[in-house]
Chains A and B, each alone.
Chain A
């Protein structure tokens, strides 16, 4: 099984996770820029974070044979803090980087006017940079948030095929199916989706424009739930080719629209990043 995790926050994971993911068949991933569990208070801490997403983290991933890409945006939660919004003018510099494959995570947290403004502005950035957009749907009042997100997407003029609405579940998937947008599902140990519920959704809605991710971060989460979903699909009678489509070809198709996916086998990992390695004690 080859796996492309289209949404995972590796910054908060250990090298043990990279090792387990590689062993499970994860060969490529996308790390969306999000908040960090604790509020940031100035644009500098965003840009240092972005620098890690395009620098140190791809290096760490490469040590395990995993291709790391990222998305860049001001997330909806911190879009409400005027001190953080100052990062917006800096985003174009980062959206032009090689391994940045989408604008994201953008969307809604509490559906404030500030979030409206930042969401719409970032969809325009996606259009200007020819990039897909990763839209986070809110944890609270999710159905309303999903509908409103679809309205904003429509108003923006962006091609719906360049947009994924993420963290969908049974009550929201029907809102997105048929809009031309992609449908993202985060498989979590207890909340959001489970592998079995995901399989039921695939049965009902099919495999087209579906992305399955672990969304693993600094909270209770499991980077191998993509693998578990693949296994659950096989157990439920889906073919190996179906699994490959959902866990590899679909994310390659969606993020490939950026023209910036790097999946060639010929670029060997460097031994160090800017002179520093992940080894401890040796260097």
Chain B
């Protein structure tokens, strides 16, 4: 099943809402996670009714789905970030805001409204905090149920409810109308389980998903690739839960470069989804490598294709014969991946016979270990001849011998006679071996 990707408007804080929706729709996103904020559909504006109607029209014209997010920083209090929360003395203002958000979501036809607990103030004991939270949540949940809107409660690092286990505790207090918003990045930052396992655990309760990269123990929303999450299995796990809602990119600190970041993010997610599906298919059907290997560039893009191919090969674990077939019927990009992932002496020999520098370089990686010395020396000499850097030759220092030194000296002599030079790294090796 194909996931539906969206983008959070809090990552477009420097755009007018209409402009943000234009860019997000043009890039190919299916929907938006709309953070109600002073510049993006202010629920306290005198003309809020008109704003809601206009936003509904903008979304419909662009065929964008929507979820409503309520994490605006200074919407309720210009001095205290995120205040008041469920846990403050004036929590009724938070409850009022969330009810308004539910009403707006109903008008917009939003798929969910999201909210969170807030950080426990020092003067509020844990028991009291949980009681306040449960009461406030029950009121908002009841209102959402009346309006037919799904309420997704989001665990946030540092807040009273910061893990899936905390969320489970709250749900026992509030009841089953309380659903779940999951931020994939948070799972990496502070859940005990692996991210894909978190997704499987959360699956039955999900009404909203945010996605971003993150590092262990650090609550910082990062662009994909800048953190530690391996996304292909995560997206695969998400699809397998049967979740059909939006998976919206959550990068609230990247507004300064929003259009570029949003474009890169969608490419990344599509590639990760392709790779996740492909890896999953190989688990049940390893022979599918024959068609997945050539299709990889279309699936993940040129820059990521080689890493993806090597990963697919490791997952498929072709035997010697199948590896030889993949090499035989592969184009030179596929051949290179086979040399890197599952080399065999015959394949390495074939690559060393070619004039393709990329194949020769790959052949002299760890796959060259099993070549007899004479062939290995010829390979190294050829790579010097072709101008390849010796740094790519695996185990060079252990294996280079006097005979290789003699061959390099002969090449050097020939080059000198012709008035040509030999690469500096080769000269250095030659001198070391003499």
Establish whether residues A260 and B298, one from each chain, have CB atoms under 8 Å apart when the complex forms.
yes
Which chain B positions have C-beta within 8 A of A272? 355
Give the size category of A's interface with B: 10 to 19
Residue A275 contacts which of B295, B297, B356 (CB distance < 8 angstroms)?
B356
Which chain B positions have C-beta within 8 A of A161? none
Residue B291 contacts which of A51, A55, A93, A98 (CB distance < 8 angstroms)?
A93
Closest beta carbon of chain A to B19's beta carbon, Å: 27
Closest beta carbon of chain B to A92's beta carbon, Å: 6
- The majority secondary structure among interface residues of chain B is helix
Whole-angstrom distance between the alpha carbons of A96 and B291 in the complex? 5
For residue A42, CB closer than 8 A to chain B, the reply is no
Give the size category of B's interface with A: 10 to 19
For residue A14, CB closer than 8 A to chain B, the reply is no
Q: Which of A79-111 contact B (CB under 8 A)?
A: 90, 92-98
B295-311 to A contact mask, C-beta < 8 Å, 1/0 = 10110000000000000
B318-353 to A contact mask, C-beta < 8 Å, 1/0 = 000000000011011000000000000000000000
Closest beta carbon of chain A to B77's beta carbon, Å: 49
Which chain A positions have C-beta within 8 A of B290? 92-93, 96
Which chain A positions have C-beta within 8 A of B332? 55, 274
Whole-angstrom distance between the alpha carbons of A274 and B358 in the complex? 8
Which chain B positions have C-beta within 8 A of A153? none
Establish whether residues A94 and B355, one from each chain, have CB atoms under 8 Å apart when the complex forms.
no
Establish whether residues A274 and B294, one from each chain, have CB atoms under 8 Å apart when the complex forms.
no
Whole-angstrom distance between the alpha carbons of A51 and B359 in the complex? 16
Establish whether residues A275 and B357, one from each chain, have CB atoms under 8 Å apart when the complex forms.
yes
Establish whether residues B298 and A274, one from each chain, have CB atoms under 8 Å apart when the complex forms.
no
For residue A276, CB closer than 8 A to chain B, the reply is yes
Establish whether residues A274 and B355, one from each chain, have CB atoms under 8 Å apart when the complex forms.
yes
Interface residues of A (CB under 8 A from B): 47, 51, 54-55, 90, 92-98, 129, 259-260, 272, 274-276
Interface residues of B (CB under 8 A from A): 290-295, 297-298, 328-329, 331-332, 354-357, 359, 386
5 smallest beta-carbon distances between A and B, as pairs: A275-B355, A96-B291, A274-B356, A96-B294, A93-B329
What are 11 inter-chain pairs, A to B, with CB distance below 8 A? Answer: A92-B291, A93-B290, A93-B291, A94-B329, A96-B290, A96-B293, A96-B295, A129-B291, A272-B355, A274-B359, A275-B354
